[in-house]
Amino acid sequence: MHVPGFAYNPVMLLVEGAIIGFLIALPVGPAAALCIRRSITVGAAAGYMTGLGAALGDAVFGAIAAFGLSFVEAFVARNEGWLRGIGGVVLVIMGWTTMRTRMRTIGDPVSDDREHQVATHFHFASSSFFITVFNPLTVMAFGAAFAGRDLAGVGGSLPDAAILVAGVFCGALGWWAILCTASFALRQHFTGKGILWLNRIAGAIILAFGLVALISLLPLPWRHWARVLELT
């Protein structure tokens, strides 16, 4: 069932989905910190796989919003605290681990093993995917974006919804490709202590996001303080 007064055009759906996916992926967060760090310290493939996982996570939430899966949205809203808590704990652990990561050595037989590389690339993609899907704000952002663009009724047509979700994935993946390429281009400037400090900074950013998520679970008047800040 289409939104009254709006005729869905496949090309425009793809373009609008790509723009929405790109803009929602744009804000700097833990996934971006991971992508930048891995692109510089490990290589372009690691950065692209990290971006791929994050883009797949965005596509999942895009599908939830596009297909109007109200029961999933209700589950996310009902269990937002648990999701935020789990995501916060994971980010804290991941951030602390990243800060303590040792530099890779050239010719390491484990890192050069092909089977190990496949498992590692899967880890790169799955970790960023996990970080993205455990952010309950993402599905709300997609819902607001689709509603603002009169795309709320696109889920009535499976092909239209699929095109929109494909656009979201392509747009998000485009941003991650740009970020990874730019980071990899700076790789030559990071050696020795530079990489050590990059690990520390990236880990600190991830750790900070995790701590913020956990602190937000404390029974404090967050909404009241937010309204006060808006009025000042």
The amino acid at 150: D
Percent of the chain predicted with pLDDT > 90: 12
Q: How many CA atoms lie within 13 A of 193 on its CB side?
A: 0
d(CA 159, CA 156): 9
pLDDT on residue 205: 81
Distance CA 202, CA 34 (A): 7
Is 70 exceeded by the pLDDT of residue 52?
yes
What's the pLDDT at 4?
45
Confirm whether pTM is higher than 0.75.
Answer: no
pLDDT tens, residue by residue, 28-46: 788 888 888 888 888 888 8
Per-residue pLDDT tens digits for 174-211: 999 999 999 888 887 776 667 777 777 877 887 887 78
Burial of 227 (0-12, 13-18, 19+ CB in 10 A): exposed
